[in-house]
Amino acid sequence: MRIGLVLSAWRGSDGIGANVLSAAAQSGAITTTQDNSAIELIIVDWAATDVTSRTWPNVNGAQPTEVTVGTDGGVYTWAVAYYADAGAAGSKTVGLSTPTLGTPDIIAVEIKGTTGGGGEVVDDSQSDYVPLDQASEPRTVGVW
């Protein structure tokens, strides 16, 4: 059994807005509710497709910031990323454009913006993605 957990803390935001969970999809549309929101997304492929070479769609003319991308021994792959400023409220397509994933799922969450951006991710340099049985530090942002 594999367990994954991603925790994110954002500052300077008006809270959580829209979200989307799409089973069997590697991309999806999320309709942001406020201008200048951020969008954080998690993609998992249960077929463990190699994502060493990947393409993301642009949102508001920009690529996302990748937090972590990896694989767990050929069991599954994951990609976690965020768009810092999704621009004007409305529909955005997020996810991976390529490669074609085998058995994907995606979760995307709007981090409501304030004027000038969707807030700021808290200390992105402290992101640690470690196997659950090795997680011991309270600053751990993601556990796989």
Considering its fold, how many domains does the chain have in total? 1
Residue 15, in any domain of the structure: yes
Given a contact cutoff of 8 angstroms between Cβ atoms, the answer to whether 25 and 106 are in contact is: yes
Residue 41, in any domain of the structure: yes
- Tokens found for residue 31: 């309709």
Q: Which of 1-15, 32-46, 66-80 shows the lowest per-residue confidence on average (mean pLDDT)?
A: 1-15
Residue 105 belongs to domain spanning: 10-122
pLDDT-derived band at 136, boundaries 50, 70, 90:
very low
pLDDT for position 139: 32
Question: How far apart are alpha carbons 102 and 48 in whole angstroms?
Answer: 7
**Per-residue DSSP letter, 63:** P
Residue 29, in any domain of the structure: yes
Contacts of 46 (CB under 8 A, 6+ apart): 75, 76, 102, 103, 104, 105
What is the domain-level CATH number for residue 56?
A: 2.60.40
Question: How far apart are alpha carbons 26 and 94 in whole angstroms?
Answer: 9
Residue 70, in any domain of the structure: yes
Residue 80, in any domain of the structure: yes
Q: What is the pLDDT of residues 40-72, one digit of tens each?
A: 999 999 999 999 999 999 999 999 999 989 888
Question: How far apart are alpha carbons 84 and 14 in whole angstroms?
Answer: 14
pLDDT for position 121: 59
Residue 52, in any domain of the structure: yes
pTM recorded for the entire structure? 0.79
Q: What is the pLDDT of residues 72-128, one digit of tens each?
A: 888 899 999 999 999 999 999 999 999 999 999 999 999 997 765 555 555 544 444
Residue 128, in any domain of the structure: no
Residue 138, in any domain of the structure: no
Question: How far apart are alpha carbons 138 and 16 in whole angstroms?
Answer: 23
